[in-house]
Amino acid sequence: MKDFLSGLLDWIYKKRCYFCKSSAESVKMCTKCFDELEFMPVQVNRKFFNNNIYCAGVYDKNLQKMIRGVKYHNQKDLAYYQAKFMWIYWQRLEIEGDFQIVPVPIYEKRKKQRKYNHMELVAQEFSALSGYEVNLNLIKRIKDTKPQYKLNKAQRMINLSDAFEVFAQNLIPNKKILLFDDICTTGSTFEQMIKTLNDANIYDITCFATTTPWEN
């Protein structure tokens, strides 16, 4: 009876893949579904001033579902797989140096409503894989901006104007900055953060997003 109850509990609480619903591996994302994620070519996706912006994958299928799951549906366990996907791509870039990971901040009121910043979760998982330190105190979002996905490039820049504030005293010395986001569409968020950091005389910046909708 004890063995039966133990087996029953294992079956009830066994994790299912969020994507294909398989319970064979008892994980949130099975190997098959992870291996189906599509990487971008190993190259600079775009540049802003002298700063490179890299995007690890194409915003489609499982990668799209993963990002939306972490961001909107409280699927926090998927942050590990998002970070793992980014880490695999990051290693392929062979970029040297020690970095401090700065996830794109969200407005404090929105963070309280959502209960978490999804990119902070991904940054912590990426830190565990890379050994890079996470810096949550360097730059804050001080403006409750509108959702970007409905706006064109010009509207995005207006929306993000004066949205961030830098606290230069919190810069970790002798570490480059790795700005971290999930989706890079026009690059407006990264651009505004770079401008704000540059205004504080902080320049050694690389931008890294999980994905982009554009295959370029």
Domains of the chain (ranges; CATH) run: 1-35 (no CATH), 37-212 (3.40.50)
Alpha-carbon gap, residue 82 to 121, rounded angstroms: 10
Work out whether the CA dihedral 76, 103, 80, 54 comes out positive or negative.
positive
In this prediction, residue 157 has a pLDDT band, given cuts at 50, 70 and 90, of low
The residues, ordered by sequence, that sit 6+ positions from 168 with a Cβ below 8 Å of its Cβ are 138, 200, 201, 202
pLDDT over 70 at 12, yes or no: no
Alpha-carbon gap, residue 156 to 145, rounded angstroms: 9
Q: How far is CA 23 from CA 9, 17, 20, 100, in A?
A: 14, 6, 9, 36
Which one is predicted more confidently, 110 or 201?
A: 201
Bridge partners for 207 per DSSP: 53, 179
For residue range 51-100, what is the model confidence (pLDDT) as tens digits? 999 999 999 999 999 999 999 999 999 999 999 999 999 999 999 999 99
Q: Distance between the two ends of the chain, CA-based, in angstroms?
A: 60
Do 101 and 127 form a contact (C-beta atoms < 8 A)? yes
**Which of 9-13, 20-24, 49-53, 166-170 bottoms out in mean pLDDT, i.e. has the lowest?**
9-13
Residue of 61, 57, 65, 103 lying closest to 84 (CA atoms): 57
